[in-house]
Amino acid sequence: MGNFHSSKKFNPQRDIADLSGRVAIVTGGNAGIGYYTVKFLAQRGAKVYLAARNESKATGAIVKLEHEGLGSGGTVVFLKLDLSDPRMAKSSAQEFLSKEPRLDILVNNAGMLTDHQLKIRKTNDGILEMMATNYIGPYVFTRTLLDLLVKTAEEPESDVRIVNVNIPVPSYTGLKATWQVSSHLHRLAKPGTDFGSPEIFRDECKEYTVPSFARYGVSKYAMNLWTSGLQRRLDESLTGKRPILVMAVHPGSVNTFAHLLPLPRLFDLLFRTFMVGADEGAATSLFAGASPLVRADPAKYRGEYMLPVGTLTLSAAMRDPEMAGNLWTNTESFLQGLGL
């Protein structure tokens, strides 16, 4: 581990507990942060489902992981997952349920940072592909798995966690500025943004200087509202029981998207001067998903938004129970309209 994450504080190879017998899912695990999240969980003994849309790329990643070495007992299995269609997200979760009797760790890592060629794309359901992939898909995938997560949490010595990853919005103005934008995603939403309106899933954010990044920010704002709302609902339903911990994480400034931008080689060289690699970027996901320190102090971390590698209190706007409740109702209404 490099200086950015400070190996003195947390090193996945040293500080993750033995995960033998545990089952995990990491979405978007074939590349970038997801790849190293899969790698370190498997090296600590977990059976990890690498969930991805492209089977060829996922299979190639698994071959590479096995070549690099998974340690004693760890395995990696492919799970087909397309988050851009909520029906396919549900189908993928159901496929997992048919194979496994438990689920200990769910890392919702996959997502879109920018629209393809910065062009607005909508799904067949009429919503933004960005919103479908970054929020609706993970919501449905997690909702379908929730009963199994609760069942696993009822077992002795269980430690069930849900981790939602928010990749930083690039600002091109340095590490501090990038953190600031990503840590205050609510500022990318228009004042008075109504998460209780179906239009939130279709808003193209055309009034922004970079609409694609604004659409990303709104989708991740929704994910953070969902994170805090899901934690509250689980706490209410699991009163007196070992809690399931739900957390959103900011991996830091990680160079995983230079290839998506104009002049990718130039941006890659630029980003290397103040960003870290994907291996270090996975540290916060791994801390939230598998560090014993989190389970030792659940009140500190539950429903929180983490920076590398610790806790940042969510803004009042992003933990607002009313807003989270409105979003929850709106999402369920939308899914009901799809027969989900």
Domain assignment present for residue 160? The answer is: yes
Give me the pLDDT at residue 176, please.
36
* Per-chain mean pLDDT for the chain: 83
pLDDT given at position 275: 58
Average pLDDT (36-44) is 96
Q: Which residue has the tokens 């929180």?
A: 304
Q: Active site residue: 36, 216, 221, 305, which one?
A: 216
For the chain, give percent helix, strand, coil, nearest 5. 50, 10, 40
Quick one: pLDDT at residue 211? 79
Residue 126 has pLDDT above 90, yes or no: yes
Which one is catalytic: 36, 84, 139, 182? Answer: 182
Highest mean pLDDT among 158-172, 194-208, 287-301, 306-320: 287-301
Identify the top-confidence range among 10-19, 112-121, 123-132: 123-132
Q: 39, 47, 90, 220: which is the annotated catalytic residue?
A: 220
Strand order in the sheet with 75-80: 75-80, 47-52, 23-27, 105-108, 161-165, 245-249, 305-306
pLDDT of 36 above 90: yes
Q: What is the CATH number of the domain that holds 21?
A: 3.40.50.720
In this model, does residue 56 exceed pLDDT 80?
A: yes
Quote the Cα angle for 108-276-218, to 5°: 40
| Contact assessment for residue 230 and residue 162, using Cβ atoms and an 8 Å cutoff | yes
The pLDDT value recorded for residue 236 is 92
Across 257-267, average pLDDT: 52
With a pLDDT cut of 70, the percent of the chain lying above it is 78
* CA-angle at 164, arms to 152 and 70, nearest 5°: 70
The answer, yes or no, to whether residue 277 has pLDDT greater than 80, is: no
Q: Would 182 be classed as within a structural domain?
A: yes
Distance between CA atoms of residues 288 and 247, nearest Å: 7
- Residue 216 among the catalytic residues: yes
The pLDDT score that the predictor gives to residue 118 is 60
Q: 81-90, 195-204, 240-249, 262-271: which has the highest mean pLDDT?
A: 81-90
272 pLDDT more than 80: no
pLDDT of residue 296: 93
Domain assignment present for residue 55? The answer is yes
Is the confidence at residue 1, as pLDDT, over 60?
Answer: no
Does the pLDDT value for residue 137 go beyond 50? yes
pLDDT of residue 96: 99
In this prediction, residue 281 carries a pLDDT of 79
Q: In the prediction, which pLDDT does 276 show? A: 61
pLDDT tens-place string over residues 158-214: 999 999 998 655 433 333 333 334 444 545 555 557 889 999 999 988 887 777 777
Q: Please give the residue range of the domain that contains residue 232.
A: 12-337
Q: What percent of the chain has pLDDT over 90?
A: 56
pLDDT at 133: 96
Number of domains in the chain: 1
Cβ atoms 134, 111 nearer than 8 A: yes
3 part of a folded domain: no
60-67 long-range contacts (CB < 8 A, ≥24 apart) are: 60/30, 61/29, 61/30, 61/31, 61/35, 65/35, 65/38, 65/39
Domain for residue 6, yes or no?
Answer: no
Eight-state DSSP code of residue 313: P
Q: Specify if 4 maps to a domain.
A: no
Residue type, 218: V
Task: Lowest mean pLDDT of 55-59, 183-187, 233-237, 334-338, name the range.
Answer: 183-187
Q: What is the pLDDT of residue 116?
A: 61
Q: What is the pLDDT of residue 206?
A: 83
Taking the C-alpha atoms of residue 109 and residue 223, their distance in angstroms, rounded to an integer, is: 12
The verdict on residue 2 lying in a domain is no
36 assigned to active site? no
Average pLDDT, stretch 16-44? 95
Confirm whether 182 is a catalytic residue.
yes
